[in-house]
Amino acid sequence: MTSWQVEPAPGWGLHRTRDAELALPLRISSGGQHRAIAELELTPAEAELLHAALCYALGDQSPPADAPECRQPVHFPGCRHRYSGQPPAPVS
């Protein structure tokens, strides 16, 4: 059985298409050899859903220091809770 790998294409960045969709170039390899570059195209709504799903999946892991702002902990005044999608507990 051939082992397939799909990863972001080096040197190619996420970009918008003429239809205002987002396109992520992916490098497809098998057996250690490059086979193709294909673009994963997402509508803005699909990209938002993917972003939310990834943030949810990464939620329990501490973000690295160079993570984007959306992965940084959110602190509420008078509260030490990290944002979890639930409102913070009332401060007494």
Mean pLDDT of 21-29: 95
Global pTM reads 0.62
Instruction: Note the pLDDT of residue 81.
Output: 47
pLDDT digits (tens, 9 = 90+) for 45-83: 999 998 888 888 887 778 788 877 777 666 656 655 444
Distance, CA of 35 to CA of 4 (rounded, Å) = 10
